[in-house]
Amino acid sequence: MRGFAQEDLGAKLPHLIVLGGGLAGLSAAWAALGARRACRLTLLEKEDRPGGLARSVEVGGVTTDLGPHRIHTTIPEMRQWFREFLGPEMVEIERISHMRFRGRFLRYPPAALEMLRALGPLDAARFALGYASARTRVLAGRLGEDSFASVMEGAFGRPLCEALVFPYIRKMWKTSPDRVSADSARVRVTMGGLGRVARRAFAPGREKTGEESTLQTFCYVRGGIERLARKLADEIRARGGRIVCQTELWRLILDDDRRATRVEYRDGEGFIRSMEGDFVFASIPLPDLVEAIRRDSKTIRFMDQAAAAAAGLRFLHIMLVAIVLRRPSLGRDHWLYFPEAEPPINRAYEPKNFDESLGPKDRTLLCVESSALPGSAEWERSDAEIASEAVAHVAETGLFRPNEVIETSVLRLERAYPLYLLDYSERLAGIWNSLRTIGNLIPLGRHGLFQHNNMDHTICTGLRAARCWSEEESPAARWYDQEMESFRRFRIVD
């Protein structure tokens, strides 16, 4: 630490501090500054610019997002928000995707006849019998819903799960499906099981809004997803807010009434700075928030339960390999999935298929995604090893030839996804028991809530957090008692 400085912000209006400048923190700041209740606001961001995972980078003259970001929502208020905030900057796209299965690329979601041809009659019959057996056990009460594995088996049958679902989970989440919470299945299995999959395959186009299992169309921000983050940041500054980058939260100080009164953070030059505040929105990873509160000697004992619970929360790191290729395009797909155990990659996407202006006409980029646990051998590999293996694995599928590769770049995303292990909800309950007693603190967003949210969900938590602050006498009580329950009903549509 290189010294200590007290910031004097000087005005009498309530001062809001936002911890974390991803889409959740940005949307909370934007909405709070636009509310009827006047305030001052400072947003603290760890990276060199706001955006979090909503960032775009250029590799070899082609722009790619950090993940295949898309805009799609079944939440009415969010549909209106995107239309009003982005308007003509959004482009609507008809989704095209394939999955690699048994040596060939099949449409995703798979068409019935195409899937039957790939399986063959024996496997198709085996999957049907497995599904019938699972449904019988569910109806007889002999197959519960105590894990991801049991929920999925009840929905699709064990043989199909072992062929398509469980191998993907093992390589994506780096653990057995039996160790993953059933909540991971419930937020995704809107398709209703094999029976509904079959009905959809033979009678497409009949799904109701809010019940979709896969996207048919989606929207994208012209020029890359970072334009959304940049527009939010620009409007925050225009409304009088302050954004300070390259900061790292050190300590959150509470008074005797358990209200957050001061934030201490390390700035880009290594100095510890102190800032007083009247309300705090925290979109940083939940374990980091708990640890920052515990660093105050007055709150160590009060936060013991939360600290013990937070210590067991697990995240997944993501590795993206951007492969620049000497060809105009690879195809028309937006997503390519690899559900089988091999190759050891999860999915890939071609940014120019989201927006052709992201690269020149004579080259394209394929971004290949894989995951790793913190501290694992997979994560500790060098960038050169990760890139070389990704190129080799994808080239083996026939998507491109190795001699077409111009350059590669490895992009590492730490703690990108919360990992829902069996005890995660019990751990969260212990954390909320402590944090909810801090009346002027709201955790939000994917990392702050430890909730695997899509982009629309993340922004929604920010907008609603600001609404709680501006409209409620007891914002935190409203947050924990009403808003967080509604977030549990969010569903992920792939």
**CA 263 to each of CA 22, 248, 299: distance values in angstroms, whole numbers, following the listed order:** 19, 11, 14
Q: Which helix (H) or strand (E) holds 484?
A: helix 484-487
pLDDT along the chain (494 residues), means of 10: 46 92 98 96 97 96 94 94 96 95 90 81 90 91 90 91 92 95 76 49 46 76 97 98 97 93 95 97 97 84 90 97 97 95 96 96 97 96 98 96 97 96 96 95 97 93 97 94 89 78
Angle value at C-alpha 211, between 210 and 217, nearest 5 degrees: 75
Residue 193: per-residue pLDDT: 52
Question: Pairing mode, if any, of strands 405-419 and 217-221?
Answer: unpaired
**What are the chain's domains?**
4-53+224-312+421-487 (3.50.50.60), 56-95+314-419 (3.90.660.20), 109-208 (no CATH)
Residue 109: per-residue pLDDT: 83
- Dihedral, CA atoms, 75, 76, 82, 85, nearest 10 degrees? -130
Question: How many whole angstroms separate alpha carbon 73 and alpha carbon 50?
Answer: 23
- Specify the pTM: 0.92
Residues 6+ apart with CB under 8 A from 423: 312
Question: How many whole angstroms separate alpha carbon 319 and alpha carbon 314?
Answer: 17
Residues 6+ apart with CB under 8 A from 473: none
430, 219, 35: which is closest to 14 by C-alpha? 35
